[in-house]
Structure 1
Amino acid sequence: MGRSCGFVSIGLAGLVALCAAFASGFDHADGPTASVVAAHVCPVGAAEVGAFRGAARVHQCAHGAKHGCALFAPGTSPEYMEAIYQEIAEATQGDLARFNAEGSSWSFSPGSTPTLTYSFPPDGTFIPAAFSSDMAGTNTIHQTLDSLYASAGGRATWKQIFRDMFDRWSEITGIQYTEVPDNGAAWSSTNYQVHGQIRIAMRPMDGPSGVLAFNYYPNATQGLRGNMILDSAEQWNFAWLDYRFLRNTIAHEHGHGLGLAHICPVREEKLMEPIISFAYDGPQLDDIRGAQHIYGDRFEPNERLEDAAQLGTIGFGQEVIIEEVSIHSMSDIDFYRFVVPPEGRVTIVVEPVGTTYEQGAPNSNGSCPTSGSNFNAKTVGNLQFSLRNSVGNVLAAVAENGFGEPESLVQFEVPFAGTYHIRVSVAAMNGVVQMYRMRVRVDGPDAEACVGDLNGDGVVNAQDLGIMLSHWGTSNAVADLNGDGVVNAQDLAELLSRWGHCQ
């Protein structure tokens, strides 16, 4: 069998009980303060371990287990969990390559749009057992979900939930997903002309609760890569928070299908934590960083001038904002192309994005430790950028600030109308995957400069004050408003006098 990752739930009854118990306390706008609780383990002597490159996971199961990971309901005995994982380890022993971010990913032709197909095998397709106590059976995904969603729009509704999940991963990675017909070929078939590269099936596993789903990693046996199996005994039409139970489950599972493993500790912050939660919807910051470490962002490949991502024509008073993009290594470069009208003045702000959160590897028995090390995703790379003309010649280079701070070019008067390029990279890096947000604004020749707007967002506010204070006593050209060669009280007074201006 191929390498897989299991997902286990307490079932609908447990969900309803937990939701009722937590209904009185919300500290999230869209979910309860607590999650559906389960424990994550790997088999004895085969704990999931990882070399963390920033927060992009490079994981494997130690000591040759080679199978992935699983979740169990609260109260499940350690003996049962160990037995199940031992069975999975034995079923997959010797079959798989070692998992890492480079080796366990989908491969795409250089320069092409990355594309994956998926399909739902017809009911009756035989789905083998994944391990000795697992139950082989026939696929029932259409019958089961059609029945569960009969009063909520039927097949169109549940298929849309899957489409939405794939669309979200597409926004993050640039991978394009297409549903194709499935002729019911054997579950391990490699004939992708008659079914998807990823196949999604449903059959009985262990009854309500217990095992919820499996997903194979991209380095599984050919024909099983990325395949997902859901337990038909679960109540997949649980409608709370727009079917978040199903949506977060399949988004988590396809995260494994892309090559991501679990991350600890459990803080209800990350989709790939080993405990399902309703506190978020789909992939979060760490999940996005992990996926972009493997595949890049949605504009890839844009490392060369000729492959620059197109921003189009930006007219006077218009602004383009690019989000959820990243520099994933020291050698990574992002080029963007845009067109400026005559006498345009260009403002560009490249701002690092990230928060500080805990991360760490599971314990030796696979459970999550109660704490991890703090990781600041905002200070991985020291961003820099340059504005270039149509053939790539540098007009302005911006690298004034340090890690965690934005870089800005404010109202730069371009020499003539036409095509220009922005080249984003890092001057230094202490990990991988620095996410960033970029704003590009074009103003006309009569626009006045917004003195004190150090980050170019169009208003003098607390962010600008923070930038100034971080450069206090230096000769930083951006924060030295009066040009006397030092950032001091005179510059602060100038900034405060313009507080709230330029909106």
Structure 2
Amino acid sequence: MWSHTFNKRVALGILTFACAASSLAYVPDDRWSTTTSGSTGNYGDPATLAWSLVPDGTRIPGEENSNLINYLDDLFNVSANSTDLTNRPWFSLVEESFTRWSDLSGLTFVYEPNDTGSSLETSSGVLGTRGDIRIGGAYLDGTNGTLAYAYLPDIGDLVVDTGETTFYSNSSNNYLQLRNVLMHEIGHALGLLHVESSSESLLMEPTINLSIDGPQLDEIRGIQGLYGDAYEKSNNGLGNGSYLRATDLGQLVSGGDLAIGTDATGGQTVLATESDFVSISESTDYDYYSFTIDAASLVDLTLTPLGGVFSQAVEGGAESAFDANSRNDLQLALYDTDGTTLLKLANETGLGGVEQLSNLELSSAGTYYARVSGSTSSMQLYELQLSAAALVLAETGDFNGDGLVDLADYTVWRNSLGDAGANLAADGNYDNLVNAADYAIWKNQFGSAASTGVVVGTTNVPESSSLVLLGIAALAITHTRLRRTTNRLD
């Protein structure tokens, strides 16, 4: 753990939002309201921001003029022979720091190659002129002091201490020290303040921690609470709030499963390679997912709220336990292939409760739709899991599911005759009772292939065979009833 500290120019933000912090864990300031791409909408809505690197000589209020580009060129032994900064070896590290936040949220970042060099803090972004978030650097206090600071929205400018040469020149883990500083300060520029935790390592703590790489789970909760999850920027920024724009989970095969949001199951620690995080940020936020089955299936869906339990506090405050698993009362719905016919709704539990739709019989192949929603305007990460098993369509008469309607299926019917709600494999008409009506279904399909209806042989059931089978059925009924009577006497 390094003792370097991060500073922010808008220090009052911590005091202003101290009360909100105790109920959110992450500490939010206001989100961006307007950028070079226009209005950003409301909390949980996606947003696009441009970023730029200010030319050396740009005024930084209260500091020396910016010398960041020359500083980074010297740090990476660059002989500047082009004005195109994207060719510099250090540029990718800056870009990756923005991209990581984008991968985890509804944010989209666009590099603005132009910057007129107007003073930081006082100049808003202008398309084709300068970015919304502008990055400069100056000597602040040298080695082992302040690493950088940033302004909160709607300013968002960022200043790096160019006196920290030894620290920033460390190339370990793809220049983790430089990237973590940039990602921390970008977090401020997006609207996140400092948070402290004695039980976890978080990016937005006021001291740098090199055991992590980028935003951790609580910071992901924070950024998605402000700008939504990554799927909110799908469909040209319209998100997945309707079945027509549902996020496609793919094909759900028998014996297989699908899931989304699984990277949030591992506690607060998030690896740099993980990006599967989804959430409900507002009571008006609906997440639709589609999945396809190619045959009749028995489907299970499980919705689990996530976020973890950990100790947290605003900077300088007293820590307390925080349960991020129980922020919103989530609901789970399944819709038919038309996207609007509700098949089943799960809303049985409260805050932090798991919702399940179990043993749903989907008798037709096609694309179905699951919807996740919340009852309050509270940020909640979650995982949605789906699994499927083959569903034998009893109405075909294929009671044992081997693809043929033959005497083996009659045996299944005979052995379960009279069962109600127990062994219903031979319940051909789905009335929760195995009886003569189900025998009639088997008889009518005898000799066919259940999946295609193709006749096996030249005839279905010969008349003489039918009579014999009916006789057997009558005996079976009598025998079954006697046996069941005997069982009752036992």
For this structure pair, what is the TM-score category when the shorter chain's length is used for normalisation? Answer: 0.5 to 0.7
8 Å Cα contact 2:151/2:157 also seen in 1: yes
RMSD: 3.4
Aligned residue in 2 for 1:441? 387
Aligned residue in 2 for 1:212? 147
1:200 aligns with 2:135: yes
Aligned residue in 2 for 1:283? 215
8 Å Cα contact 2:135/2:159 also seen in 1: yes
| d(CA) in 2 for partners of 1:290, 1:43 | 18
Q: Deviation per CA, 1:259-312: give whole Å up to 9, x if none.
A: 111123555522111111123221112211111111111112333333322324
Aligned residue in 1 for 2:450? none
Unaligned 5+ segments in structure 1 are 1-33, 60-98, 220-224, 363-367, 448-503
More helix by share: 2
Aligned residue in 1 for 2:81? none
Aligned residue in 2 for 1:140? 68
What's the CA shift for 1:413? 2.5
Aligned residue in 1 for 2:30? 100
* 1:4-403 aligned within 5 A: 34-36=1-3, 38=5, 48-50=15-17, 51-52=19-20, 54-55=23-24, 57=26, 100=30, 107-108=39-40, 114-122=47-55, 124-129=56-61, 131=62, 135-141=63-69, 143-150=70-77, 157-187=89-119, 188=123, 190-219=125-154, 225-235=155-165, 236-265=168-197, 267-300=199-232, 301-323=239-261, 324-362=277-315, 368-369=316-317, 371-389=318-336, 390-403=338-351
| d(CA) in 1 for partners of 2:390, 2:12 | 66
With over 3 angstroms needed to count, the CA separation of the structure-2 counterparts of 1:44 and 1:436, relative to structure 1, is closer
Q: Deviation per CA, 1:421-476: give whole Å up to 9, x if none.
A: 1111235x5x82111111223444479xxxxxxxxxxxxxxxxxxxxxxxxxxxxx
With over 3 angstroms needed to count, the CA separation of the structure-2 counterparts of 1:408 and 1:207, relative to structure 1, is same
8 Å Cα contact 1:398/1:408 also seen in 2: yes
| d(CA) in 2 for partners of 1:207, 1:198 | 24
- Number of corresponding residues: 354
Say which SS state the counterpart of residue 351 (structure 1) adopts.
strand
* 1:431-470 aligned within 5 A: 432-445=378-391
1:412 aligns with 2:360: yes
**Amino acid in the other structure paired with 1:144:** Y
User: More relative contact order in 1 or in 2 (CA 8 Å, sep 6+)?
Assistant: 1
Aligned residue in 2 for 1:29? none
| d(CA) in 2 for partners of 1:437, 1:100 | 27
| d(CA) in 2 for partners of 1:344, 1:359 | 45
| d(CA) in 2 for partners of 1:46, 1:345 | 52
| d(CA) in 1 for partners of 2:285, 2:369 | 16
With over 3 angstroms needed to count, the CA separation of the structure-2 counterparts of 1:41 and 1:116, relative to structure 1, is closer
| d(CA) in 2 for partners of 1:291, 1:241 | 24
**Amino acid in the other structure paired with 1:215:** A
| d(CA) in 2 for partners of 1:140, 1:58 | 29
- The two structures have a TM-score, normalised by structure 2, of 0.64
- The two structures have a TM-score, normalised by structure 1, of 0.62
| d(CA) in 1 for partners of 2:108, 2:13 | 35
8 Å Cα contact 2:4/2:145 also seen in 1: no
| d(CA) in 2 for partners of 1:313, 1:227 | 45
Aligned residue in 2 for 1:493? none
| d(CA) in 1 for partners of 2:372, 2:174 | 38
8 Å Cα contact 2:156/2:189 also seen in 1: yes
Say which SS state the counterpart of residue 391 (structure 1) adopts.
coil
Q: Deviation per CA, 1:95-115: give whole Å up to 9, x if none.
A: xxxx53586999426999632
| d(CA) in 2 for partners of 1:337, 1:103 | 32
Say which SS state the counterpart of residue 126 (structure 1) adopts.
coil
Greater alpha carbon shift after TM alignment, 342-351 vs 415-424? 342-351
8 Å Cα contact 1:56/1:293 also seen in 2: no
| d(CA) in 1 for partners of 2:7, 2:98 | 25
Say which SS state the counterpart of residue 117 (structure 1) adopts.
strand
With over 3 angstroms needed to count, the CA separation of the structure-2 counterparts of 1:319 and 1:158, relative to structure 1, is farther
With over 3 angstroms needed to count, the CA separation of the structure-2 counterparts of 1:410 and 1:115, relative to structure 1, is same
